[in-house]
Structure formats: structure tokens, C-alpha cells
A and B are shown apart, each in its own frame.
Chain A
Amino acid sequence: MNSFTQVLTTLGWIVVALAISPMVWLIFQPYVKTWSRAERRAAGLLRDVLTPEQCQQLLWRGYLEVKSPSEPERIYRVPRTRGYVQVLEHGRAVMRLCVQPVENLPDADIVVLHKLMIEANEENYLSKANKYFIVD
């Protein structure tokens, strides 16, 4: 009877561990991803493309601000992780953009992609993006 209880207890713990493992994975996934080889390589490219100030902004604020080459009052806010790019004009958010590569890329590469496209291919970038206008 005693050993039967022990087996039941062990099985119970296994069930609990299996139940919480997805949550644990969700919590630690960003850290695991940072350690991956692909992310490390992408982070290297990001460091090569950004200035130290831009790296700092991305790290501390969670986004990178890219000035529009065509509209002096327009700024694009590129998030560090996947998500919408926010467009600000005269300091106010006017729209959100959704643009993504056809190929799955590490997060750091996606930041570089947005920066390069905005700075050197803005017209094409805007034409491809799905736009969600923000109305006050």
C-alpha cells in the first residue's frame, strides 16, 4: 500500500511538471533564444549596423527610432521583438505598420531589416506594409 502511494505521488508530480512546462518554456523562451547560435549571429549584424547610441536605445527602451529620409518630421519606432512598427509624425503616433520577411528570421535580423528598408528603400517599404491608421 505504501509503495502504491509512492507511485501515485510520483505520477502526480509528473503530471504537474508536464502541466507547468509550457508556462516555464514561455517564460524562459526569450533567454533560450538569445543563446541560440542564430540569434548570436543576428546580434552581431545588429551591432555592426547600429551606432552605440542606437544599441543603447534598443536595449533600454525596447525600440529603435529610425528617421524617415523623405519626411523630416516622421520617425519609425521599430520594436526589439516582433510586432508593429509605429509611425510618429510631429511626435504623435499616426499609424502602425505590419511588414514581415517571407523567411523566418531571428528578431535582431528583423530590426536590421526594418532599419535598412526604411533608410534606403522607404517608398518600397511603405508600399509593402499593411497600414493601420491611428485616429484620435
Chain B
Amino acid sequence: MLRVMSRRGDDRVTWDDSKVIAGDPEAMAAVREAERIFAQERAKGATAFKIEPGKPAQRIEQFDRTAEQIVLVPRVVGG
């Protein structure tokens, strides 16, 4: 799942990786959409974190389709 933080809470794109492997067109389209959003938000300065249960969060530079959850955090500045 890709979660993008926004004023609306978080926008989500979900996919089933097993269906992607099986070549399901809907799941593949969801992954492509998630990849596009990932690249777009990264270009705006967002930071991406991979979150797996029971593990510390990990910063990632590349989209990881197999990640259980990716959270995109908008660019931060000193207040």
C-alpha cells in the first residue's frame, strides 16, 4: 500500500502483490499508478519510508512494490 500524507488525511493506493505476479491487469495498473505518484511526490521533495510490522521504519529512494506499506511524507522546513 502507498500512503501519501495530505490535508485530506492520507491518500491511498493499494495492490495485491500476488495478483501483480500473476499478471492481473487491475493490480498492475494500481502498481503503475503508485509508482507514478511516488515519483511525482519525490520530485516535490517528499521523503519515502517503508514500514513493515515489528521493524523500524526505513527510508527508501526507490519504489518497492513488495513493501507492505510505503508512507510518503511531504517536505519539511524549520518552523
Chain A residues with CB under 8 Å of chain B are 37-42, 44-45, 48-49, 69, 98-106, 109, 112-113, 115-117, 119-121, 124-125, 128-130
Contacts and interface: CB of A to CB of B under 8 A. Distances in A.
A99 B9 contact: no
Contacts of A128: 76-78
B33 interface: no
Interface of B: 3, 5-10, 45, 47, 49, 51, 56-59, 69, 71, 73-79
Contact of A130 (B10, B56, B78): B78
A69 B56 CA distance: 10
Contacts of B79: 98-100, 130
B78 A120 contact: no
B6 A103 contact: yes
B78 A45 contact: no
- Which applies to chain B's interface (DSSP): helix, strand, loop or mixed? strand
Given A116-B57, A120-B56, A129-B78, A101 B73 contact: yes
Given A42-B10, A45-B71, A48-B69, A116 B49 contact: yes
Contact of A102 (B9, B49, B77): B77
A130 B7 CA distance: 23
Contact of A120 (B45, B59, B77): B59
Nearest to A38: B9
B9 A37 contact: yes
Contacts of A44: 9-10
